[in-house]
Structure 1
Amino acid sequence: MRFMGLNEVREAYLKFFESKEHLRLDSFSLVPKNDNSLLLINAGMAPLKPYFTGLAKPPKTRITTCQKCIRTGDIDNVGKTSRHATYFEMLGNFSFGDYFKEEVIPWAWEFVTKVLEIPKEKLYVTIYEEDDEAFEIWSKSTDVDPSRIFRLGKKDNFWEIGQGPCGPCSEIHFDRGVGVIKTVEEFEAAADADRVVEFWNLVFTQFDKDENGVYHRLANPNIDTGMGLERMAALMQGKNTIFEVDTINSILQEVCRVSNTVYGENAAKDVSIRIITDHIRSVSMMICDGVLPSNEGRGYVLRRLLRRAARHGRLLGLTSAFLYNLCDIVVENSKGAYPELEEKKDYIKNVIKIEEERFEETIDSGMGILAEYISELEKSGEKVLKGELVFKLYDTYGFPVELTEEILAEKGLGLDMEAFNVEMKLQKERARKARGESNYMGSEDSITNKIPAEYNTNFVGYDHTEYSSKVSLLIKDEEFAEVLEAGDKGIILVEETPFYAEMGGQIGDKGIIYSDNFKAEVEDCKKSVAGKTLHFATVLEGSLKQGNEVKLKVDSVRRNNIRKNHTATHMLQAALKEVMGDHVHQSGSLVDEDKLRFDFTHFTAMTEEEISRVEEIVNAKIMEATSVETEEMGIEAAREKGAMALFDEKYGDIVRVVSVGDFSIELCGGTHVSNSGEIGLFKITSESGVAAGIRRIEAITGFNAIKFLNEKLTTIKDIANTIKCNPKEVVNKSAALVQELKEKDKEINELKKELAKGAEGELLNKIKEVKGVKYIAAVVDNMDSENLRELGDRLRNKLDNGLVVLGSAFDEKVVLLAMATKEAVAKGVHCGKIIKDVAAVTGGGGGGRPDMAQAGGKMPGKLPEAMNVVEKLLETLVK
C-alpha cells in the first residue's frame, strides 16, 4: 500500500474510469441548477439527477466525476470530532442504463487492489442481505475471500429515499485493526468502534418504489457510486483523520502559525483550529462558485461558516481579519483540479475580508445589545435570557450563540436553549418551504418534468425568425393533452423552433404560432429542467392537435432589441475589464427588449469618470461598425482563442463563440446583432451595489437610449425656463440660486433665534411646580429641532431644580423636546419616559436619557393636549 497525496488519489480515480470508457466531467458548481430541493450540492450524483430520472439525455452513458460538495447538517459536530467536515469531494462513476453489477464490482476491486494497491487482507465487503446476485459476482468475478463478504440489512445496504428509484448497495471497507473479523456481529462491532472504515459505496439502482411500497424492476438499471476523496486520502496516507491529510494539514498548520498555537496541546483550541481549517475550504469554494454572504438561503450558509470561523479565530487570540489570507493555501492545494480558484483568487479573498470586517462590527454592536439584555435581567432579578432574544441576536445580528452563552455565564446568568432551538427549527422550516417541496430526485413535480427524453426541439432561431414545423406534444392543465382549443392556455412543443427559450440571462421570445385554421399567441418560451423547449401560449382561434403542421413567427422587432442589448452586454464586460481590471467577472445578467442588466465582481462604487470611460469605449466600438462573428468550435479551441466563459456553467464539446472583432470574445448561446453598428447607441442609466463585492450596471441601447437622452434634454430645458436662463447656464444659475437660498436660510435662523430669546422671557413667567420640581411645559411656534434645543438649553440653565418640555409644529410635523437639571433627575425625573408619553398623544414616539430626550409626532393639533400630561407624569415620577 503506497502513499498517495489527495490530488494524486483524485487523478488516479478519474483516469482509471476514463480507461473504462467513462466521460470525465469537471465538477459541477456547488450552486444547484434547476433544483429547488437543495441549497447546495451535497453528493456526487446530485447534479446528475435529470440523467437518472430520464428527464435529460446524458452526454455519455458512462460518466465519472469528482464533485465538490457542502453538507451542513452536522455543522455542530465539525471541529468537535476529527472526521466531520462541511466541505468534501466525492469521487463517483455512473452508468445510465449501460453497465451494471457485472462490470462495476470487478472494476471497483481492480481499482482498490491494483491501482491503490491496498492489501486484500485489509479489505471487507458488505452487501444487502437479499442480494444473491451481488454475492455471486463478488465471489466469482473477483478474488476477494468470500468469508470477508458480510450480508447486512436494509438500514446499512439498501439505498432509498421515499418513493422512486432505489436499490441495494455494496460497500467496501478498510480494516485499521489487527486480526480477522469472522462474523457479522464482529464486523458491526468493529464498524461502531471505527476500526473498520467504509470508503466506497456502490449503489445498484434497479427498482422503482411506488406509492404502495411495491418495488418494480427497472428496465434500464443504473449505477451510482460514491467515494469520499478526503477519507480515501487519509487511508492512503496512513492517517486517522482527514485533518492529517497532506493538503488539509497544510491549512491546519498555517492556522497554527498565524494564531501561535500548537495542534494537539489543548483540546478546546484544537476544536477551533479544525473548524477554521474546514470552513476556509468551504467558503473559498462557495464564493468561487458565485455564492455571496447574505441573510437567507445559501448566502446564509456561507455567512454562518465565515462568522463561525472568525469567531473561533477570536478564541485563538486573532482579533483582526485573518481568514482571507488562508485562502492562498486553499487555492494552491486545489488549483490543479479547479483552475477557476486561481483566476478568482483576489475576488474570493476580498469577499472573505469584507465579511470578516463586517463581523467585527457585528461583534461590537451585538455586545452593546447583549449588555442591554443583561441590564434588564439584572433589574428584574431574572437569571435566564429568553430564547427568542438569543435567537434575535444570532439571526438578526449574526452574534454567535456560544459567545452569548459565554458572556452570560461570566455574569452568573444562563439562556433558554430550548426556546432558542424552537426558533431555529421554525427558521429551518421556513427555509425548506422557500426551497419548495420536491420529489425523490429533487425536481418540482410538474408535468413538464415528465416529458419523455425523445421529445427534443431543434433551435433554428439564429438564422430564422419564422419557420414551419410539426407539433410534437401538447400540455394543458398539468396534463398531456390531445388538443388545444380557442381560449385555452397551454404549452406547445414542436420539432423545430425559431423561438429562443430563456437562457443565459436572455429572456424568451414572444410571437405567434399559426396555421390556416389556428392561431395562438406565444407569451413566453422557456426550457424545462431537462432542457425541453416550452412555448407558453394562449389559443386565439381554432384548435391544435399533436402532429399538426404550424408556422412559428417570432416578434422580430422585440427580438432585434434583445439582440442589441445582448451584444452590448458582451461589449460592456470587455470595457469594464479594460477600465476596472481583470478581476471583473460576470456575476449575473438580464437581457430583455428594454434594457440590459449586468452584475459583476468589483468592491467599490464606480466613479463618474469610470462610468463615462466605459460608455466611451463601448460607443467607440459601436461606431466602428465591427462585424460580430459567431463560430462553433471545440471547447479547447475556444479557450485558446481567448473566449470568456462563466465558471459555474457546463459547456459541451462543441461551443458557440461570439466575437465582436478582437474586442470581445465570449462563449454564448444567445442571439446577437451581425454588426456592432446595429446597436446604435449605448447609455448607462445606473450603477449600484447589490451585494458584498458585486456591482450592478443597467444600460439601454438604440432608440431607447436616444429617447432617454431626449428626455434629459427636455428636463434641462424645463429647468432653464423655470429659473429663467439659457440651458447652457443651468448649472451656474442653479448654484447661484442654491447659495442665495442658503444665505436666506441663515438670515431666517438668526431671526428665529431672536424670536426664541423673546419667547424665553415669556416662558419663564409660566413656571409651575410639582413636589419641589419646577417645570415649563409649552408650545412654541415654528421651530425645528435645533432651535428648540437651543431654547431648551437656555431655559434649563435658568432653573436650579427643574424640567423643560417644549413642543412645536414644523413642516407640518411635531417636534418635541424634554430637558432636566441634575437635581431634578436625582428626584426621579426621567426625560426619556416623559417624552415617550407626551409624544404618544401626538401620534408619535421617541425616547432618550434621563436628562435629555427628543421625539416626533404626526398631529400638531394635539400639542396643547400633550403639554397637559406633563404635570401628571411628574406627580408619578418625582419622589
Structure 2
Amino acid sequence: MTANELRSKYIEFFKSKNHVEISGQSLIPENDPSVLFTTAGMHPLVPYLLGEKHPAGTRLTDYQKCIRTGDIDEVGDPSHLTCFEMLGNWSLGDYFKKESIGFSYEFLTSPKWLGLDPRKISVTVFAGDDNAPRDEEAATYWKENGMPEDKIAYLPASDNWWAAGPTGPCGPDTEIFYWVGEGLPPAGSNKGTDSENWMEIWNNVFMQYNRVDEKTLVPLPKKNVDTGMGLERTNCILQGKTSVYLTEVFQPIIAKIEELSSYKYGTDEEKDRSVRIIADHSRSAVFILGDQKGVSPSNVGAGYVLRRLIRRAVRHGMKLGIEKNFLADIAQAVIENFKCAYPELEQNKEKIFTELSAEENKFRDTLRKGEAEFQKLLPNLMKNPKKEISGKIAFRLYDTFGFPLELTQELGAENGFTVDVEGFKEAERKHQEASKTQDAGAAKGGLAEQSDTTTKYHTATHLLQQALVNVLGDKVAQKGSNITNERMRFDFTFDRPMTKEEIQKVEDIVNEQIKKDLPVTMEVMPLEKATAEGARALFTNKYGEDVKVYTIGEKDNWFSKEVCGGPHVQHTAQIGEFKIQKEQSSSAGVRRIRAVISGGLPLEK
C-alpha cells in the first residue's frame, strides 16, 4: 500500500463511519503566537475542541501537513522527520471511548482496510494518579475488541495524559503501537516492558475533564475525541520497511540526490545520514515555502527555522560533493511527489525555486565570509601553544557568520588545530537558554490564549484587510497574521512601502468602521456560495465544503466578508481604538503592519 492509498483509505473509512472530510489547514497557525508551525492535526481544530461549533458537524476527518522543529538535530537517523503528515478523526461531543477504540482497531486489523496482524498490536492506557483514576473504561473496550491483557500497558500521566495547558481541557489518552522486532512479540511484551521494539502509530485523546487548578479536575459536560495517526510511520510498517526513507514518500527525492551527488544511498552510513538530512530538510522547506501562507527565510521565527533547514541541507550537499546550487532540482522531485495531495506546491513552485536558489547563494556567500574571518583570526590562534580553537571562538564564527562547526574543525585541522567541541556545545546551550527565556511563550504546545483582547484583535484584522484593499487596490491579499494580548501583526502582498498618507487613511477607515458599531454576524454555507457572495478566502478548502462566513456590516451593505474560523466580537464598537505602529517589509513582495487597540466595549458572554 502506498502513502497515497493509505491517505485515501483512512478518509474513506471514516466517511463510512459518518465523518465529514474537512480540509487540512496551513502550516502557519492562524492567530496563534504560541507555536511557529502547525505541529499536529488537532492544531487547527483547537477552537472547536474548546467548544465552538464546527460548520461540518460533530464527526470530522482529514489529513494535515505538520512541522515539528524540536529535534532538527536528530534528523538524519532512519526515523526522525521535521515535516510529516497526520491522519486524524474527531468527535466533538458525539461518540467517545467505545466507538473511538472500535474504529481504530477495525481500521488497523480488518482485511478490508489495513489488515495488520492483531498479534503485532499493543496499546497503552492511563495508569491513574492522585488527580484522576486509572482508565479502566478504555482498557475494557480494548479487551472487548480482542486485545489480550498482556498487550495493555498502564503508564503514567507523562505517557498517557493530554492537556491543553496548566488549565483547561485535558484527559487520558490511549496510544497504539506496532511490533517492529523480529518475528512475533513474546508473551507479556508491550510498550511498558519493551520500549525498543514497539513503534507508536496512533494516539486517541479523550478530553473528558476541565483542569481548574493544579489539584482540581471537573468532568466536562461535552466530551471530545481527538486522534492522530502518523502517515509516514504507518506506511513504513505496511510496506515492511525498516525506515521511512525506504518508502516511496522519500525514494524519488533520494534518487534525485543520488543523481546530483553521484553517491549511491546505502553504501556508507555517514553519507547516508547526509542524504536523509537533505531529503527531510528539502521536503520541509518546499512545504513551508509552498504553503498558502508561506514564509520566506529570515533571522526570526518561522523564517529562521526555514533558513536553518535550507542551510543544513546545503551543508550536507557539500559533504556529498555537490558544489553547485541543487535544492531547486530536489524541490521539483518533492513537488512532483506531493502535488496531488497538496496542489498548493505546484501552484507556488516558481516562488519555491526562486527562494531556495536565493538562500543557497546567500549561504555560499556566508561561508566565503566566514572563511575570510577565520583567516583573520589565524595569526592570533597560531600563538596558542595548545593548538586549540576555543569553543567560544568556534561558536562566534557559527552564530555571527553562520559558519558551521564542522568547517571550523576542517580549517583548523588544515592548520594543525583541534576545536574545543564541548566548549562550543556549552556556548550554544547558553545561547539557546537565553533565546528560550526571551521567547518563553513560544512553546506552549499549540493552544493560543483565547482572551477577549485576542478576539478583538482578530476581528480588527478583517477591518484592516478591507481597509488596505480600499486604499491600495485588489492586489492586496493576506499572507498571515499573528496576535497576542499586546498587539497584532498582519502580513499582506504589496510591492512597495506604504506612504504616510496611505497608512493614515487605512487607520482612519478602520476606526470609522469601529465607531459605526457595525454588527458582526456569522453564517455557515458552502465555500463556492461564500466566494460567489464576495467573501474573501484563502481557497484551501475542498469544493462543496461548508465554511463559516463572518460579515461585518448589514447583510446588503457590508464592509467586510471573510471565510474564517473565528473568534469574533459581536459588534465593532467592542474593538476600541485602532492604531498602526509600524509598516515595514516582511519579505520580497510582502509588507507587514503592526498595530494595537485600546479600550472598547466588553464582549457579551
SS in 2 for 1:111: helix
Structure 2: how far apart are the matches of 1:569 and 1:669? 21
How far is the alpha carbon of 1:25 from its aligned partner? 2.2
How far is the alpha carbon of 1:28 from its aligned partner? 1.6
Question: What aligned pairs does 1:417-816 form with structure 2 within 5 A after superposition?
Answer: 417-433=421-437, 435=439, 437=441, 442-443=446-447, 447-448=451-452, 501-504=459-462, 506=464, 566-567=469-470, 569-572=472-475, 587=479, 599-600=492-493, 634-636=526-528, 645-646=537-538, 653=547, 668=562, 690=585, 693-694=588-589
Structure 2: how far apart are the matches of 1:337 and 1:199? 21
2:288 matched residue in structure 1:
286
SS in 1 for 2:321: coil
SS in 2 for 1:246: coil
- Indicate whether 1:325 and 2:329 are aligned: yes
Instruction: Pick the aligned partner of 2:4 from 2, 7, 12.
Output: 7
- Indicate whether 1:143 and 2:46 are aligned: no
Change (3 A) 1:330 1:422: same
How far is the alpha carbon of 1:282 from its aligned partner? 0.4
How far is the alpha carbon of 1:277 from its aligned partner? 0.4
SS in 2 for 1:362: helix
SS in 2 for 1:165: strand
SS in 2 for 1:126: strand
User: Any conservation in 1 of the 2:207–2:223 contact (CA below 8 Å)?
Assistant: yes
Structure 2: how far apart are the matches of 1:126 and 1:647? 39
TM-score normalised by structure 2 residue count: 0.77
For structure 2, the 5+ residue unaligned runs are 128-133, 483-489, 498-522, 552-559, 565-582, 594-605
- Indicate whether 1:52 and 2:49 are aligned: yes
User: Any conservation in 2 of the 1:504–1:669 contact (CA below 8 Å)?
Assistant: no
1:413 matched residue in structure 2:
417
- Indicate whether 1:31 and 2:33 are aligned: no
User: Any conservation in 2 of the 1:443–1:449 contact (CA below 8 Å)?
Assistant: no
Instruction: Pick the aligned partner of 2:172 from 153, 168, 173.
Output: 168
Return the letter of the residue paired with 1:372.
Answer: K
SS in 1 for 2:357: helix
Change (3 A) 1:667 1:411: farther
Return the letter of the residue paired with 2:369.
Answer: S
Question: What aligned pairs does 1:166-315 form with structure 2 within 5 A after superposition?
Answer: 166-176=170-180, 177-183=182-188, 188-192=192-196, 195-289=197-291, 290-315=294-319
SS in 1 for 2:249: helix
How far is the alpha carbon of 1:421 from its aligned partner? 3.4
Structure 2: how far apart are the matches of 1:342 and 1:126? 40
1:336 matched residue in structure 2:
340
User: Any conservation in 1 of the 2:22–2:541 contact (CA below 8 Å)?
Assistant: no
How far is the alpha carbon of 1:119 from its aligned partner? 2.2
Structure 1: how far apart are the matches of 2:83 and 2:381? 40
User: Any conservation in 1 of the 2:586–2:592 contact (CA below 8 Å)?
Assistant: no
User: Any conservation in 2 of the 1:190–1:196 contact (CA below 8 Å)?
Assistant: yes
What are the superposed Cα offsets for residues 499-546 of structure 1, whole Å, 9 maximum, x if unpaired?
Answer: 993124716xxxxxxxxxxxxxxxxxxxxxxxxxxxxxxxxxxxxxxx
Change (3 A) 1:500 1:435: closer
User: Any conservation in 2 of the 1:437–1:444 contact (CA below 8 Å)?
Assistant: no
Structure 2: how far apart are the matches of 1:408 and 1:438? 37
Change (3 A) 1:361 1:221: same
Structure 1: how far apart are the matches of 2:592 and 2:177? 54
1:386 matched residue in structure 2:
390
Return the letter of the residue paired with 1:182.
Answer: A
User: Any conservation in 2 of the 1:49–1:441 contact (CA below 8 Å)?
Assistant: no
Change (3 A) 1:356 1:422: same
Structure 1: how far apart are the matches of 2:453 and 2:562? 25
Number of matched pairs: 521
How far is the alpha carbon of 1:49 from its aligned partner? 2.3
How far is the alpha carbon of 1:159 from its aligned partner? 3.1
How far is the alpha carbon of 1:154 from its aligned partner? 3.5
2:37 matched residue in structure 1:
40
Change (3 A) 1:444 1:46: closer
Structure 1: how far apart are the matches of 2:265 and 2:188? 39
Structure 1: how far apart are the matches of 2:442 and 2:407? 37
Question: What aligned pairs does 1:50-89 form with structure 2 within 5 A after superposition?
Answer: 50-54=47-51, 56-59=52-55, 60-79=57-76, 81-89=77-85
How far is the alpha carbon of 1:321 from its aligned partner? 0.6
User: Any conservation in 2 of the 1:306–1:355 contact (CA below 8 Å)?
Assistant: yes
Structure 2: how far apart are the matches of 1:601 and 1:405? 44
Structure 2: how far apart are the matches of 1:450 and 1:356? 38
Structure 1: how far apart are the matches of 2:72 and 2:443? 25
What are the superposed Cα offsets for residues 383-426 of structure 1, whole Å, 9 maximum, x if unpaired?
Answer: 33333332332223222222222322333323344443344344
What are the superposed Cα offsets for residues 690-728 of structure 1, whole Å, 9 maximum, x if unpaired?
Answer: 465435599xxxxxxxxxxxxxxxxxxxxxxxxxxxxxx
Instruction: Pick the aligned partner of 2:19 from 19, 22, 27.
Output: 22
What are the superposed Cα offsets for residues 315-362 of structure 1, whole Å, 9 maximum, x if unpaired?
Answer: 111111101111111111111121111110111111111101111111
User: Any conservation in 1 of the 2:325–2:361 contact (CA below 8 Å)?
Assistant: yes
Change (3 A) 1:244 1:49: same
The answer to which structure, 1 or 2, has the higher relative contact order (CA under 8 A, 6+ apart) is: 2
2:162 matched residue in structure 1:
159
User: Any conservation in 1 of the 2:534–2:561 contact (CA below 8 Å)?
Assistant: no
Structure 1: how far apart are the matches of 2:54 and 2:550? 20
User: Any conservation in 2 of the 1:206–1:221 contact (CA below 8 Å)?
Assistant: yes
User: Any conservation in 1 of the 2:179–2:185 contact (CA below 8 Å)?
Assistant: no
How far is the alpha carbon of 1:65 from its aligned partner? 2.4
SS in 1 for 2:213: coil
TM-score normalised by structure 1 residue count: 0.54
User: Any conservation in 2 of the 1:385–1:416 contact (CA below 8 Å)?
Assistant: yes
Change (3 A) 1:589 1:131: closer
Structure 1: how far apart are the matches of 2:328 and 2:442? 36
Structure 2: how far apart are the matches of 1:181 and 1:297? 47
2:116 matched residue in structure 1:
118
2:125 matched residue in structure 1:
127
Return the letter of the residue paired with 1:634.
Answer: P
1:820 matched residue in structure 2:
none
Change (3 A) 1:689 1:446: closer
Structure 2: how far apart are the matches of 1:126 and 1:500? 40
Structure 1: how far apart are the matches of 2:31 and 2:430? 26
Structure 2: how far apart are the matches of 1:286 and 1:31? 8
User: Any conservation in 2 of the 1:163–1:440 contact (CA below 8 Å)?
Assistant: no
User: Any conservation in 2 of the 1:351–1:693 contact (CA below 8 Å)?
Assistant: no
SS in 2 for 1:10: helix
Change (3 A) 1:691 1:367: farther
Structure 1: how far apart are the matches of 2:212 and 2:388? 50
Return the letter of the residue paired with 1:694.
Answer: G
How far is the alpha carbon of 1:61 from its aligned partner? 2.5
The 10-residue stretch of structure 1 (273-282 or 209-218) with the greater mean CA deviation from structure 2: 209-218
Structure 2: how far apart are the matches of 1:696 and 1:406? 41
User: Any conservation in 1 of the 2:274–2:316 contact (CA below 8 Å)?
Assistant: yes
Structure 1: how far apart are the matches of 2:214 and 2:97? 27
What are the superposed Cα offsets for residues 26-85 of structure 1, whole Å, 9 maximum, x if unpaired?
Answer: 22211122222111121222222222333x433332222222111122211211x10011
SS in 2 for 1:421: helix
How far is the alpha carbon of 1:123 from its aligned partner? 1.9
For structure 1, the 5+ residue unaligned runs are 452-490, 492-498, 508-561, 574-584, 591-596, 607-630, 658-665, 671-687, 699-879
